[in-house]
Amino acid sequence: MGLGFNQQNYSDDTERLQIIDSIREAPVGAQIKRVIDLLIERRLALTTEQINEECYVDMHSNKAVFDSLSENPKVNYDGTWFSYKAT
């Protein structure tokens, strides 16, 4: 009799957590590029929470990434929403 433990789900979750960890430990520039690429791809304004869900960049925990993106000339930031500024 099993305990309802699924080895495949555990492996998938472990792999996903390792990916998230590697993204969050990446240099600030790499995280900024990841967010800008997401904004270009989506062509939508996103909140910091949505960005975290989509590409695992946690701007609440990384002030350098947040500040760089909010001041980036390629990005619009209105206090809530980030979007790509087409040039």
Give the pLDDT confidence of 15-31 residue by residue, as tens digits. Answer: 888 888 888 888 999 99
Asked if residue 3 is part of any domain, the answer here is no
Asked if residue 18 is part of any domain, the answer here is yes
Asked if residue 54 is part of any domain, the answer here is yes
Average pLDDT on 44-53 reads: 97
Model pTM?
Answer: 0.79
Tally of domains within the chain: 1
For residue 71, the enclosing domain spans 8-84
Q: Can you give the CATH number for the domain in which 14 is found?
A: 1.10.10
Average pLDDT on 70-79 reads: 96
As a whole number of angstroms, the distance between CA 31 and CA 46 comes to 16
* Closest to 54 (Cα-Cα) out of 26, 35, 76, 71: 35
Mean model confidence pLDDT for the chain: 89
Asked if residue 2 is part of any domain, the answer here is no
The structure tokens listed for 79 are: 């206090």
Asked if residue 33 is part of any domain, the answer here is yes
The structure tokens listed for 17 are: 């957590």
Is-contact 68 61, C-beta < 8 A?
no
